[in-house]
Structure 1
Amino acid sequence: MPHWRQICLNQPVTRKILLLSIFFPLSAGPAPACTTFLIPQSREKVMGKNYDWTHNDGMLVVNKKNLKKTALAAKPAQWVSRYGSVTFNQHGRELPLGGINEAGLAVEVMWLDDSSHPPAGQVPQVNELQWIQYQLDNYSSAAELAANADKIVVAKVFAPVHYLACDKTGECASIEYISRKLRVRVGKDLFVNTMANDTYNSSTAFLRNFKGFGGDRDIPSGEDSLSRFVRASSLAKNYVQQNPAEEYAFGILQSVHQTDPEKATQWSIVYSLAAGHVAFRSQGDYKLQTLAISAFDYSCSQPVKTLELNQGWSGDVSGNFIPYTRALNRKVVERGLKDTGAELPPELIDEIAAYPESAICLENPPLNLSYKVSVDESFVEGL
């Protein structure tokens, strides 16, 4: 793995290079084993996610709309956020691992070793975590996200991943980069609304061997990706409406949770998409925490709010959010790096901690430019 000084050797020490170089050591971490699913027949359109990693520190962030942003990439996408959102962040603000926006669209990421990204060409870039924030900022449904998925490309600097996005109508989209090509499935193109850590094609091919999906094999009990995919898909399919959907979803998450210390389940998250409600638990402290998306002010003229995770909260935590600070962001970034064994100088950590402050609040963004995606570096100044 290249040292940060090698990455920057003989290159101008620009802000962009510093921000990109900070992420390279992260890919040295253990391959996690996340699982995500939707229960489409539930009234609440419940979506569940297990985040499997090495630690559960991080923060929830209330992200604002009408913010003019430039991505952390060599050919950065530039846009103005249309929707506010609440996200789970472990590597800094603007770099979420998942979340839900005020329109009822949720996006989650999972590790995928088979992921391979195409060259960017002239397509605007985002890194694989900011891709999540971009989607939550811009789209209100899985179909809309899928229709625009080729407008940007992921520039991999963190890890090989794929995504599941679901909305309040119960429609989902899977997004993968396979053999350097974008692969998008949406709505009826999905056999099940589940993803783990194998490609969607290989996972569904395996699933068809089991009872309830065309095969005669019993549902497996292992912790490997394909077994978790089958188990989550089967349990989601067998949900009946008279059961509390949120509680049932947590039962599925418990069924597919990981125990390996290097990739243990750290967060179990349930989104009730139709209701705009989030419930979650952290490893080692299983108190249920909840919040309503409607509880927050998404106007960019008001301070960004955050909630540090792993602090022993319980119940409705909407009122526990405090104004965002660069100091907390730096703490979160440092903790995320430390766990991967990365040794970076303080000035690099300062850069990523300060990055969110580059976004500009627009009180009345011009409608013809607000949601443009561009690689023109004069775009931000020209708005």
Structure 2
Amino acid sequence: MKEINLLKEIVNRTNGFGCTTFALKDDNQIVFGRNFDFMIDYGHIVVNKRNVSKTALVPPSEKQLKWTSKVGSITFNQAGREFPYGGINESGLVIEQLWFDCTQYPKSDSRYGISVLQWIQYQLDVSENINDVIKSDLTVRIIDDSGAALHFFLTDKNGDSACIEFIESEMKVTKGKTLNVSVLTNNAYSKSIEHLDNPKKEESNQNIFTGSSLQRFEQAAKLVNQYSQANSLDIIEYSFKILDKVKQPNFTQWSIVYDISNLEIHFKTKSNSKVLKIQMKSLDFSSATPCMILDLATSKNSVNFEKYSIDKNFDLINQVFDSLDMLKDIPKEMRAYSANYPNTTTFNDEKEKSR
């Protein structure tokens, strides 16, 4: 069956979306901040379970990757369950994607192929740290026709951060001593660092979401470097200060701070400025219980997870597409294809009776 990639349709018709990410740490905590810049803030926060067997949704020409989730995760999704924009797993690994025009994914080869958003879920399912993600490049590659030109910023429980980009069809990793500052926006990391030393104007051909990329990188880098434990704000409050400083009026939809050390997620949305908190330790990631979701459109004052269903998944996808004039004409059959994908996954716990 022909693969249907909803993100590809979103990107082709909206010309991408921008973001800002950074990592910050002190003697007690490691945190990761992220602004998601787009036109709508609808979405689901999904509790992804351990011990679930999955098969990559790829064209018939690709070798189908099969895996079983080793750890649970929390993800932020607009294109439906199993196709997240980013998240954190129980091991304390955070992965977030950002638009990057210069992306060139690998050409077809002997490795297993996987689409770009499912690659994020795969890494959160099986990886404990950044090195695990990097090693996976030996056997797994993002398929060339994923549609979305993205690069990635990662931080793990060890306090290590990395930028992963695909340039000239190969994975390029910037980490350790070569990661001068733990920030990433929508330009190549190397170009952003050059901008700090030699500030210049943004390129005129940037779209409305990514047009302030170098400016946001410079501002976030300055604030990250200025952080100290002597600051009157705690590290979570300071992280939201950074996100507020680099937000794009009318376009910043989600502001998220992952507290990696304590496995907590703090977040707010454009339509709900109240910061809410999720404590991962209070959630059940066992496959013996149903998958749970939190609807960002209805959870205004408290965190109320509800049981996942295909209907809720389909409703989210329809809500996203029907809210954007350039996406309204995408057929229901195309949307349903991705919405129904979670039904192909298998819970391995014998006590599990429902998804």
TM-score (norm 1): 0.82
CA contact (8 A) 1:282 1:310 kept: no
CA contact (8 A) 2:7 2:79 kept: no
Question: 1:183-210, CA deviations, whole angstroms, 9 ceiling, x for partnerless residues?
Answer: 1123333111111000111111212347
Partner of 2:206: none
Shift in Å at residue 57 of structure 1?
A: 0.2
Shift in Å at residue 40 of structure 1?
A: 3.0
- Hey, what's the Cα distance between the residues in 2 that align with 1:23 and 1:209? 35
- Hey, what's the Cα distance between the residues in 1 that align with 2:216 and 2:270? 19
Write the mapping of 1:192-203 to structure 2, written as runs, cut at 5 A. 192-203=181-192
Structural RMSD (CA) = 1.8
Deviates more, 1:294-303 or 1:339-348: 339-348
Match of 1:282 among 269, 282, 286: 269
Write the mapping of 1:172-251 to structure 2, written as runs, cut at 5 A. 172-209=161-198, 224-242=212-230, 243-251=233-241
Question: 1:214-267, CA deviations, whole angstroms, 9 ceiling, x for partnerless residues?
Answer: xxxxxxxx97101111111110111111430000000000111012x4xx0000
- Hey, what's the Cα distance between the residues in 1 that align with 2:147 and 2:313? 18
Partner of 1:72: 57
- Hey, what's the Cα distance between the residues in 2 that align with 1:36 and 1:348? 31
Distance 1:119 1:237, change over 3 A: same
Match of 1:324 among 286, 301, 308: 308
Match of 1:41 among 26, 31, 34: 26
Q: Which structure 2 segments of 5+ residues have no match?
A: 200-209, 351-355
Aligned length: 331
Letter in 2 for 1:180: S
TM-score (norm 2): 0.88
- Hey, what's the Cα distance between the residues in 2 that align with 1:107 and 1:24? 20
Partner of 2:248: 258
Partner of 1:58: 43
Shift in Å at residue 69 of structure 1?
A: 0.6
Partner of 1:7: none
**Alignment identity in percent?**
33
Match of 1:137 among 125, 137, 146: 125
Match of 1:335 among 296, 315, 319: 319
Instruction: Give the 3-state SS of the residue equivalent to 1:65 in structure 2.
Output: coil
- Hey, what's the Cα distance between the residues in 1 that align with 2:87 and 2:285? 14
Question: 1:99-120, CA deviations, whole angstroms, 9 ceiling, x for partnerless residues?
Answer: 1001111110000011111212
CA contact (8 A) 1:39 1:237 kept: no
- Hey, what's the Cα distance between the residues in 2 that align with 1:237 and 1:102? 28
Instruction: Give the 3-state SS of the residue equivalent to 1:363 in structure 2.
Output: coil
- Hey, what's the Cα distance between the residues in 2 that align with 1:148 and 1:352? 25
1:98 and 2:83 equivalent?
A: no
Question: 1:17-66, CA deviations, whole angstroms, 9 ceiling, x for partnerless residues?
Answer: 1x425554222213322000001336221110000001000100000111
CA contact (8 A) 2:8 2:148 kept: no
Shift in Å at residue 345 of structure 1?
A: 2.7
CA contact (8 A) 1:37 1:232 kept: yes
Shift in Å at residue 331 of structure 1?
A: 1.1
Distance 1:275 1:23, change over 3 A: closer
Shift in Å at residue 347 of structure 1?
A: 2.5
- Hey, what's the Cα distance between the residues in 2 that align with 1:297 and 1:287? 25
- Hey, what's the Cα distance between the residues in 2 that align with 1:97 and 1:256? 19
Instruction: Give the 3-state SS of the residue equivalent to 2:4 in structure 1.
Output: helix
CA contact (8 A) 1:150 1:182 kept: no
Q: Which structure 1 segments of 5+ residues have no match?
A: 1-13, 211-221, 365-383
